[in-house]
Structure 1
Amino acid sequence: MALAGSEVELKVQAMNKKKTTISRSWILLDRDGRDIVLDVDKYAIMRLVEIHARDLRIMDPLLSYPSTILGREKVIVLNLEHIKAIITAEEVLVRDPMDDDVVPVVEELRRRLPLKVSVAGQGQVEEELCVQEGEGGEENEFPFEFRALEVVLEAICSFLDARTRELETAAYPALDELTSKISSRNLDKVRKLKSAMTRLTNRVHKIREELENLLDDDDDMAELYLSRKLAVSSSPSSSSDGPNWHHSPYQGSKIHRSSRGSAATLQGENDVEELEMLLEAYFIQIDGTLNKLTTVREYIDDTEDYINIQHEY
């Protein structure tokens, strides 16, 4: 009885420990690269940005949701491997910013989110922004949400490609060694590498599939144009009677800039070419990573065929 009680107590302690290890930490970065670390629960996040519980659940580390790029009315929800983020038209929230794999992503967001303009004076800054927008400056034309999305896509594609290169580095010598000397040790090493390759292939395939599905649907891509939708909603012709869910810690909002081009935005409401080019670039990259894994798989299959032939004769 005492032993049974101890086992129950240990299980309860393990469950409590597992719960406490789930981080509630988020980091919020604005378009100027400023950041605030937030230690809040999901309800605070739901109040901070317009997001429903079912969408926030996608990023729950305790639940096994597939890789997702989800466009909502005012946010983009990202669940890509270890990177779990919420992007608005002006800010990005990243979960678990102190995680070793997430820290480089946060640093890159800090570096690339701010627009590079002169700060000689506030009036001059506004004037330069207007001039650059009029000249079609690429950096200023690229919406904030896509700059944030690009950082995340680049990070996850590079991360998976690095894991693939590590697997290649280990797999090819191990397979060659098995070919030259068939032993239980070498067979076990190749078996473990094959299992690791299968798991990694599934992870890469999920990212590739999500990008492919997004590229195949113009409506889904249009949902990711948060700045465009914000410009339409803030134009004089649109109704502004609805509730404002978004209460940012940063009060220096620059929403008025997006409204300047609202007339042009209305005309190009269904134009998704800009986003399509962005997604296509990373689709090609992740597809290349998948091809590398396919090549490793074929090499493993060829080696297994060779071993089987050796056993037959």
Structure 2
Amino acid sequence: MAGLNQDVAVLAKKKQASKTWMVLDNEGEKRVLEVDKYAIMHRVGIHARDLRILDPLLSYPSTILGRERAIVLNLEHIKAIITADEVFLRNPADEFVIPFVEELCRRLPTKGSDSLGHEGSEGEGKELDGPGKGATWSPQHEKQDDNTPGKDAPPFEFRALEVALEAICSFLDARTTELETNAYPALDELTKKISSRNLDRVRKLKSSMTRLNARVQKVRDELEQLLDDDDDMADLFLTRKRGDGSSSPTGSSDAPTSPTIASRASWVSKGTGAISLNHGTATATDSDDVEELEMLLEAYFMQIDSTLNKLTTLREYIDDTEDYINIQMTVRRKNKFRAAVL
């Protein structure tokens, strides 16, 4: 009987230790896993301290860590582990995480697509005349060179990383816009009428601005730290470290390319100084790899820096309003003192 109770206790402990993860693979499929931390650590090759920063119950600042086989991503509500062909995500049911999951699935290759990334349904494209007759036309196909289809498709880990950065930058910018919408009218109202109600309202808005500013600043600092260190950026190139190239669906032309990466980087052979993902070879130097990733990070660094500038402008406006209110209060006190003396 004692042995049975001990087994039940062990099973209960294992159940409590198991965590829910959503896994999205490079085919665009998603599934839910119930595993403990040791299984996750073994599968993606990270340490317990890396996994700890993804715990939703603990408060850790925004962090992007490059490991041998994974990228550990803790950006606000997005807590994920990105490998060369999978994304492990905590809290997939969170209302702020759901849009990230949907966008990530949209950016990944979809099973059943033809070589041009279409489902092949009737009326979905039109046939080309001439030598290429019978192929399906699309704007994306028209822009590509006939000899190098899908040449702008980035590695899976960069596509996943970009979706996360895009989601966080947009989220923080939306919170900033919302704060501006509430703060500027409240400050103007305070200058017109100094009252306890207006002062309390501005005080709360200032506290919200301070907290939001710290969150935005941390994301900006994390991106700046990556941009300042070529080795840290090189650690994020998991596909190159694995030597897997695009023999997997990651590098296929089925993958919808994002506006940021597709317009700034070409991830396959451009002569002798680039990476040929189509053949699974790495002929580029580390500096070439870093330069391509730097373009991606720089785009979102500029976006988050713009958001921080908005908050800086708002803080200065609040400070100026406080100075004005202090002057007005001083004048009122002096006038009351003079009236009392007279």
Shorter-normalised TM range: 0.7 to 0.9
Letter in 1 for 2:210: T
Q: 2:238 aligns with which of 226, 243, 248?
A: 226
Distance 2:61 2:243 in 1: 32
The answer for unaligned runs of 5 or more in structure 2 is 1-15, 111-115, 121-134, 136-140, 253-275, 332-342
1:159 corresponds to: 171
For the pair 1:53 / 2:56, whether they are aligned, the reply is no
CA displacement, residues 97-126 of structure 1 (integer Å, 9 cap, x when unaligned) = 000110000000110121763567xxx9xx
2:99 corresponds to: 104
For the pair 1:301 / 2:314, whether they are aligned, the reply is no
For the pair 1:30 / 2:25, whether they are aligned, the reply is yes
Q: 1:278 aligns with which of 296, 300, 307?
A: 296
1:135 Cα deviation after fit: 1.6
Letter in 2 for 1:269: D
C-alpha change, 1:218 and 1:183, in structure 2 (3 Å) is same
2:285 corresponds to: 268
1:64 corresponds to: 59
Letter in 1 for 2:27: D
For the pair 1:135 / 2:170, whether they are aligned, the reply is no
The answer for unaligned runs of 5 or more in structure 1 is 1-19, 235-251
- Contact between 2:18 and 2:36, CA under 8 Å: does it hold in 1? no
**For 1:98, what is the secondary structure of its paired residue?**
coil
Aligned residue pair count? 265
1:199 corresponds to: 211
**For 2:243, what is the secondary structure of its paired residue?**
helix
Moved over 3 A (4+): 131-134, 136-139, 252-263
Letter in 2 for 1:230: R
Q: Sequence identity of aligned pairs in percent? A: 67
CA displacement, residues 128-164 of structure 1 (integer Å, 9 cap, x when unaligned) = 9xx9896263443x11100000000000000000000
- Contact between 1:228 and 1:269, CA under 8 Å: does it hold in 2? no
- Contact between 2:80 and 2:90, CA under 8 Å: does it hold in 1? yes
1:51 Cα deviation after fit: 1.6
1:181 corresponds to: 193
For the pair 1:310 / 2:312, whether they are aligned, the reply is no
Higher helix content, 1 or 2: 1
RMSD, aligned α-carbons: 2.7
**For 1:27, what is the secondary structure of its paired residue?**
strand
Distance 2:160 2:146 in 1: 19
TM-score (norm 2): 0.71
- Contact between 1:23 and 1:96, CA under 8 Å: does it hold in 2? no
TM-score (norm 1): 0.78
**For 2:89, what is the secondary structure of its paired residue?**
strand
- Contact between 2:18 and 2:37, CA under 8 Å: does it hold in 1? no
Distance 1:311 1:168 in 2: 25
Distance 1:311 1:270 in 2: 60
**For 2:24, what is the secondary structure of its paired residue?**
strand
Distance 1:302 1:286 in 2: 24
Equivalent residues in 2 for 1:66-81, closer than 5 Å: 66-81=61-76
Letter in 1 for 2:165: L
